[in-house]
Amino acid sequence: MRSRYMIVYGIGLLSIIVDQFTKWLTVQNIPLWSGFPVIPDFFNLVHVLNRGAAFGFLSSTESNWQIWLFSGAAVAACIAVHLMTRSAKANKILFIALGLILGGAVGNLIDRIRIGAVIDFLDFYYNNYHWPAFNVADICICIGAGLMLLTIKDIA
């Protein structure tokens, strides 16, 4: 039982540290609302603020209700991860997934509490099509959700 918590919270903590460190590097080295190409015509490092959810979802709304909605969702995700860790069958892939989701949710929650938005810095594009900028926390959440889907038959 203890090892499942060590997996979930260890991966969660590592995810938070990597996420916050990469955001700190972004803030220290790239002026807000600017960036530079890393791989021309494919990948930029940028410094943008996202008031919406992952990949800019609902970011164009002018009011601040998203801060409360997404902060509440992050807290709910943390509670759900804890409850699933307690009750889930022993499955290391599931616990890794839960740790990634927890770390991603907390990483973005820290930004929302500190500055009212999430710092995004990874910008992939092709020609004029830009995928919305994102960050390490978003990657952790997506990989965690994907791993969770792979274990869904074991959860049921």
- Tens of pLDDT, residue by residue over 98-109, are 899 999 999 999
- Count the domains in the chain: 1
Q: Is 146 exposed, middle or buried (0-12, 13-18, 19+ CB in 10 A)?
A: exposed
Instruction: Give percent of the chain with pLDDT exceeding 90.
Output: 53
Residue 88 has pLDDT above 80, yes or no: no
Catalytic residue among 111, 120, 123, 154: 120
Give me 41's structure tokens.
Answer: 């015509």
Q: For position 29, what pLDDT does the model report?
A: 98
pLDDT confidence tier of residue 151, bands split at 50, 70 and 90 = confident
Q: How far apart are CA 44 and CA 34, in angstroms?
A: 10
Mean pLDDT, residues 68-83: 68
Mean residue pLDDT across the chain: 85
Residue 155 has pLDDT above 60, yes or no: no
Residue 136 domain boundaries: 2-155
Catalytic residue check, 111: no
The amino acid present at 33, given as its one-letter code, is W
Catalytic residue check, 19: no
- Tens of pLDDT, residue by residue over 23-65, are 999 999 999 999 999 999 999 999 999 987 555 555 555 556 6
Residue of 97, 71, 72, 75 lying closest to 84 (CA atoms): 97
Q: For position 53, what pLDDT does the model report?
A: 58
Catalytic residue among 19, 111, 123, 138: 138
